[in-house]
Amino acid sequence: MRIFSFTLALVLAALGTQAQDIRSWWATQPITVDGFANDWPETFRYYDGNTMLQFSIANDSNYFYLCLKANEPMTQRNLLRSGLAIWVDPKGKKKEQAGLVFPMKKEHGAPSPHERPEYQDPGAPRRAMNQMKQHVLLTQNSMLLFGLTPTGKEEAPIKGNEYGIEAGISWDTLDIMTLEYKIPAPLLFGHGLTAADTAKAFSLGLVIAADPEEQKMQRNGDADPNMNAGGMGSGGMMRNGAVGGDVGRANDPMGSLGGGQSGGSMGNNGPPPSMYVAQDQKVWLKVRLVGKY
């Protein structure tokens, strides 16, 4: 596993206690949403051990920005096979009413469980990675929007849509996947950012849906029992001492994110990074935006 050069700055104080707020940073210039982290600080301050994602958050007076990094190939495949939902609740609760899904779940093109590297010749993982990247860049050109538009739910292009919402995806030379998002503040708060908006935290939810093929394998008794050590519950410490969150069953209004089951505390025996998720991987974070200084 690649050693990350970042600070694990977001840690729960104890089991069941409140996590500290994640601090945004002020974007002095608009961030270009292209799937490259050139506009972001070199060191990403936050990491979630459940979804296996690094992330950083920024804002200016008009936009909310989010950047995610997926370092591990299996994490990337999980994102592409199952989709990633981003939820924002300005009231600080955990309501999945306003947000988007990108990458979107695709029925074809992503490796199946039988295409895992351990079943292949030594050169197969690299070829599979390159094929996956080419496929994604060609096909992942739209996103699902929920509660952000007059229609309530619709599919929109990731660039040039009428709402000003943008998303981007790409890989760097180390094969680290980067995802970027940009949402106009009025779509979230009803107005441009004010001092009152920076005085209180809002909730950000990240959901990687369960993989239906892996669920099927588990129901049929074909899954490796060592791949799902530990259960998933609400709160508590995650593996790697990273952020804990609500990892129970997702409320799935779009019907495309699959189902999960709540369980016990994940603890240090949570799922290893090299697995296809058989349950929803979900975390809710408290985010505090900043004003211009």
Q: What is the DSSP string of 234-276?
A: BSSPPGGG----B-SPPP-TTS-S------S--GGG---SSS-
N residues, the chain: 293
Asked if residue 134 lies in contact with residue 142, where contact means CB atoms within 8 angstroms, the answer is: no
Dump pLDDT digits (tens) for 63-87.
999 999 999 988 998 898 889 999 9
Asked if residue 59 lies in contact with residue 23, where contact means CB atoms within 8 angstroms, the answer is: no
Hey, is 182 helix, strand or coil?
Answer: strand
Note the pLDDT of residue 292. 78
Q: Is the peptide bond before 113 cis (omega within 30 degrees of 0)?
A: no
Of 284 and 2, more confident: 284
Count of C-beta atoms within a 10 Å radius of residue 16: 12
Of 158 and 212, more confident: 158
Cβ neighbours of residue 274 under 8 Å, at least 6 residues apart? 72, 74
Note the pLDDT of residue 62. 93
Asked if residue 216 lies in contact with residue 201, where contact means CB atoms within 8 angstroms, the answer is: no
Dump pLDDT digits (tens) for 112-143.
444 555 555 777 777 877 888 888 999 999 99
Q: Is the peptide bond before 41 cis (omega within 30 degrees of 0)?
A: no
Per-residue pLDDT band for 102 (boundaries 50, 70, 90) equals very high
Please identify which residue in the block is written with the tokens 């981003």.
Answer: 86
pTM as predicted: 0.72
Diameter over CA atoms, the chain: 58
- Which contiguous run of DSSP H or E holds residue 64? strand 63-70
Note the pLDDT of residue 43. 86
Torsion angle in degrees (nearest 10) through CA of 79, 82, 88, 89: -140
Name residue 87's beta-bridge partners. 99, 205
Per-residue pLDDT band for 161 (boundaries 50, 70, 90) equals very high
Q: Is pLDDT at 40 greater than 90 in this prediction? A: yes
Note the pLDDT of residue 191. 87
